[in-house]
A and B are shown apart, each in its own frame.
Chain A
């Protein structure tokens, strides 16, 4: 589903000493079925932005269009909007509350008014998607799972509503490298299999370079850049100035170039692309 954001602004604690302009005149479009990354320093407004996309927060000014629907308009069915745009919060494992994993995942489907059979189907499907074995985990208490497993339960709880758009707010934060990789592969697989539109809020430039077709860069409530990873990561200095940087592969090539080695590979971003460029360059060196 296409998402269009027009001149969106948000102000917290209006009229008090703690006033914060968390979003400042933001406009962008996200195409249906795309995989978009949102990057930015802590406090740049990423979480605030995504909470506007499913109507949890009302725009102070500006509009959010979902397909053709203005979600701020009166008479819009909010429950339906929230079903279509699934939002996984930062550290979602802290929202678990039911006695069993299955019941917790079924919370969303139950709120949608689905019957028990359909709820169970959804739970099975969602658990399979996040890689939790139904027989092993369904009847366990979510509170006795490991951190990474809890997080997968929480994500399954949103996936079980079969959203058209899935927004994940830093889903890999605080996970160990293996769980981190697994989390991103899972999201990517979900994107390919369902054709679901994905929005990934991230701190990790490598993930963004590897998986995203489009990147939005936030800084102090403003949208600084938006474009393909290649376009965005061409602004190395500007990104560093706002506390971000390049993916590791691109950074390596940049440093090599700076030291006089010229492996070329312009536009290479990911580790794999960089490795290919370096290998090609090494091959040339030997033949000289």
Chain B
């Protein structure tokens, strides 16, 4: 069951998106994150969702697989939805005791839920289609201008890639430990909140102990291979822009312009349900 968490993993198929330069994908994702917050109406969301759908289809990562990755955050999604639904003043649509649902509340709740889903789908597409090594190299390249002013760009990128690399390992470790404790009669599913929190100890303690052990082993293994930070390190696969990367950049700019122009109401199409 813990194995089902697919967020942040790499999905190994071959597609144009997979082959894109990591730098392009990272910049595209950041652009995507910013653009989502520009949108103020439903038409805009339909447009970007359609674009995301096309990119997803091209990436050949199954939607079912991506949807499965959303499951762990379903709770957060529902929580923010409900909070937004009941906290905005406006025309009252429904009343349940002291709780009121207003038209602005409903709109805010729906928009924020859509935004969250788009944010997560967009960013997870980056990790699904880019190997951790590519992500690190990409981030390092993007951060490298900052190393002149003392930002440890290589170290940041390395830490990030190690963290990403260990997500599946820790999940499978958690899965194994959970099963081992269940074999000794541990019950992780029933009981009240406090009981359940306590019943997590047999899972969490071994998990932490093992995580520290793995970290120590990894540090040792890296030192044994003379790792000493980014200085003077060269690449096995230097990154190089290909034609498809230039094309992707052009499409990205076009997309960004369209979203901004649309959100300003400058396009001759109606803005449905404008905030």
Chain A interface (Cβ < 8 Å from any Cβ of B) = 15-18, 51, 54, 56, 79, 82-83, 86-87, 89, 92, 94-97, 107-108, 111-112, 143, 157-158, 161
C-alpha spacing A111/B210, complex, angstroms = 24
- Among B177, B185, B201, the one with the most A-chain Cβ atoms within 10 Å of its Cβ is B185
The residues of B that contact A83 with a CB separation of less than 8 Å are 185
The residues of B that contact A56 with a CB separation of less than 8 Å are 179, 182-183
Chain B interface (Cβ < 8 Å from any Cβ of A) = 11-13, 62, 64-65, 176-177, 179-187, 201-202, 205-206, 209-210
- Among A16, A83, A108, A157, the one with the most B-chain Cβ atoms within 10 Å of its Cβ is A16
Contact A94 B177 (CB under 8 A): yes
C-alpha spacing A89/B11, complex, angstroms = 29
Given A17-B12, A94-B210, CB of A111 within 8 Å of CB of B185: yes
The residues of A that contact B176 with a CB separation of less than 8 Å are 89
C-alpha spacing A112/B185, complex, angstroms = 7
Partner of B187, one of A51, A87, A95, A111: A111
Minimum C-beta distance from B144 to chain A (A): 33
Contact B181 A16 (CB under 8 A): no
Given A15-B64, A107-B202, A143-B209, CB of A95 within 8 Å of CB of B185: no
C-alpha spacing A18/B177, complex, angstroms = 22
The residues of B that contact A161 with a CB separation of less than 8 Å are 184-185
What are 18 A-B interface contacts by the 8 Å CB criterion?
A15-B62, A15-B64, A16-B11, A17-B13, A51-B179, A56-B179, A56-B183, A79-B185, A82-B183, A83-B185, A94-B177, A95-B177, A95-B202, A95-B206, A97-B206, A158-B183, A158-B184, A161-B184
The residues of B that contact A16 with a CB separation of less than 8 Å are 11, 62, 65
C-alpha spacing A82/B177, complex, angstroms = 15
- Chain B facing A: main interface SS: helix
C-alpha spacing A17/B15, complex, angstroms = 13
Q: Which residue of B lies closest to A95 (CB)?
A: B180
Contact B12 A107 (CB under 8 A): no
Contact B186 A86 (CB under 8 A): no
C-alpha spacing A108/B187, complex, angstroms = 11
C-alpha spacing A54/B201, complex, angstroms = 23
Contact A82 B182 (CB under 8 A): yes
Contact A96 B206 (CB under 8 A): yes
C-alpha spacing A17/B184, complex, angstroms = 33
Given A16-B65, A95-B177, A97-B201, CB of A107 within 8 Å of CB of B186: yes
Minimum C-beta distance from A158 to chain B (A): 7
C-alpha spacing A112/B184, complex, angstroms = 9
C-alpha spacing A95/B184, complex, angstroms = 11
C-alpha spacing A115/B210, complex, angstroms = 32
Given A97-B205, A107-B202, CB of A89 within 8 Å of CB of B184: no
Minimum C-beta distance from A126 to chain B (A): 12
The residues of B that contact A15 with a CB separation of less than 8 Å are 62, 64-65
C-alpha spacing A21/B12, complex, angstroms = 18
The residues of B that contact A112 with a CB separation of less than 8 Å are 185
Minimum C-beta distance from B68 to chain A (A): 9
Contact B179 A89 (CB under 8 A): yes
The residues of B that contact A107 with a CB separation of less than 8 Å are 181, 184-186, 202
Minimum C-beta distance from A84 to chain B (A): 11
Minimum C-beta distance from B67 to chain A (A): 12
The residues of A that contact B201 with a CB separation of less than 8 Å are 97
C-alpha spacing A15/B63, complex, angstroms = 11
Contact A17 B177 (CB under 8 A): no
C-alpha spacing A18/B181, complex, angstroms = 27
C-alpha spacing A83/B11, complex, angstroms = 38
Q: Which residue of A lies closest to B9 (CB)?
A: A18
